[in-house]
């Protein structure tokens, strides 16, 4: 039956250069609604732990199941800002389904 719920889970990864002074990192990926009726959208927010540097901060986004929920490939947090919103678009589903929305920012290294 269409109209069942999509459960959206979120995860943020911080990638940093080993030994580097504290650089701007991805603090969190949050969603305004963690459960939505399939076919409705949710708004996500990428949050940095400090203002974005000159040129902005490009946060890469990912959905664990793009057949159910899609996100832009990336969003750019403008210079001096700490957040950027994005839309999570869902499709109708027959049963309650979980999808993980995640984000990464920074150079390869450790994750948190």
The predicted-structure confidence for 39-97, as pLDDT tens digits, reads as follows 999 999 999 999 999 999 999 999 999 999 999 999 999 999 999 999 999 998 888 88
Q: Output the six-digit token pair for 8.
A: 């959206």
Q: Residue 7 to residues 2, 22, 34, 44, 104: CA-CA distances in angstroms?
A: 14, 34, 6, 14, 21
Using pLDDT thresholds of 50, 70 and 90, give the confidence band for residue 6: low
Give the other-Cβ count within 10 Å of 96's Cβ: 11
Element housing 102 (H / E): strand 97-105
> Rounded to whole angstroms, what are the CA distances from 57 to 5, 26, 61, 104, 108?
32, 9, 13, 11, 15
Give the model's pLDDT for residue 93.
87
Does the pLDDT at position 109 exceed 50? no
Q: What is the pLDDT of residue 77?
A: 97
Residues 6+ apart with CB under 8 A from 10: 28, 29, 30, 31, 34, 44, 100, 101, 102
Q: Which domains does the chain have, with CATH numbers?
A: 5-105 (2.60.40)
Residues in the chain: 112
CA distance 29 to 99: 14
């Amino acid at each position: 039956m269409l109209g069942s719920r999509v459960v959206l889970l979120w995860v943020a990864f911080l990638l940093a250069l080993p030994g580097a002074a504290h650089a701007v990192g991805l603090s969190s990926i949050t969603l305004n609604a963690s459960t939505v009726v399939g076919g409705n959208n949710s708004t996500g927010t990428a949050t940095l732990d400090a203002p974005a540097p000159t040129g902005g901060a490009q946060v890469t986004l990912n959905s664990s199941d793009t057949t159910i929920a899609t996100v832009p490939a990336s969003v750019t947090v403008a210079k001096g800002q700490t957040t950027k919103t994005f839309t999570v678009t869902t499709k109708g589903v027959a049963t309650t389904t979980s999808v993980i929305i995640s984000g990464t920012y920074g150079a390869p290294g450790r994750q948190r």
